[in-house]
Structure 1
């Protein structure tokens, strides 16, 4: 079941952190960079976030979630995380498709991921995202920014 998460709720924020931290630790292994800001987040940070969170549950367990913000005519996908125990089950694709279906046609959808994160880049490309540019955010560490093409 996919539903809107009440991230202001303490127990929901705790559940989210239990998914987010292992997911980003796996990304660290893939990209070789441990400066991912979400690795330092606390439940208080999640509760204070202005992002909109959508989660995927199986029974009572949160398996993954996606978040986004809409600023004017742009939807920015801020994070897409799946607990490593549930990788390769189509959860990330399901969450991404859900949010893309929510996006009004009038907004452009963008996302950023580590330039070395091949699994994430493949996922986004499979869902009609195209690379816009690489951005150096730390010395010798790049993120790739992609934009969704709804016309494909």
Structure 2
């Protein structure tokens, strides 16, 4: 079941962090850089990020999260994370589908580490097109994607 998360509730923010940290550590290992800003998040930073959070729950246990910012008819995905214990169950797909069908939007934007091949494949498979690549430092570059609905 997917439902909105009240990130201002400290327990909910902790639950999101408990998904986010192991998920982004896997990405950090894939891309060879631990300079991913979400690995520095805290309950406080989550509560003040101005993102809207939705969670995928199995038996009342949070397994995956998507966070977005909406600007008119555009959605910017800031996080699409699944706990490693729940990889390969289609949870990321369910969360993306939820945003595509429940929000009145025309365009979805997202960025991921260029070396994060599973994420790059996921977005391409879902009809996103590569807009640009930004080199952050020697080890890290980001690929930006966009999808018109």
Structure 2 length-normalised TM: 0.95
Partner deviation per Cα, 1:26-77 (whole Å, 9 max, x = no partner) = 0001111111111011111111220000100001210010001012442110
Q: Secondary structure at the match of 2:136?
A: strand
Distance (whole Å) between structure 2 residues aligned to residue 86 and residue 80 of structure 1? 13
Whether contact under 8 Å (2:73, 2:104) holds in the other structure is no
Partner deviation per Cα, 1:79-133 (whole Å, 9 max, x = no partner) = 100000000000000001111113324x321100000111001111111111111
**Structure 1: gaps (5+ residues):** none
Partner residue in 2 for 1:49: 49
- Structure 1 residue runs of 4+, over 3 Å off? none
Distance (whole Å) between structure 1 residues aligned to residue 33 and residue 139 of structure 2? 10
What are the equivalent positions in structure 2 for 1:1-150 lying under 5 Å apart?
1-105=1-105, 107-150=106-149
Structure 1 length-normalised TM: 0.93
Distance (whole Å) between structure 2 residues aligned to residue 103 and residue 36 of structure 1? 28
Q: Secondary structure at the match of 1:138?
A: coil
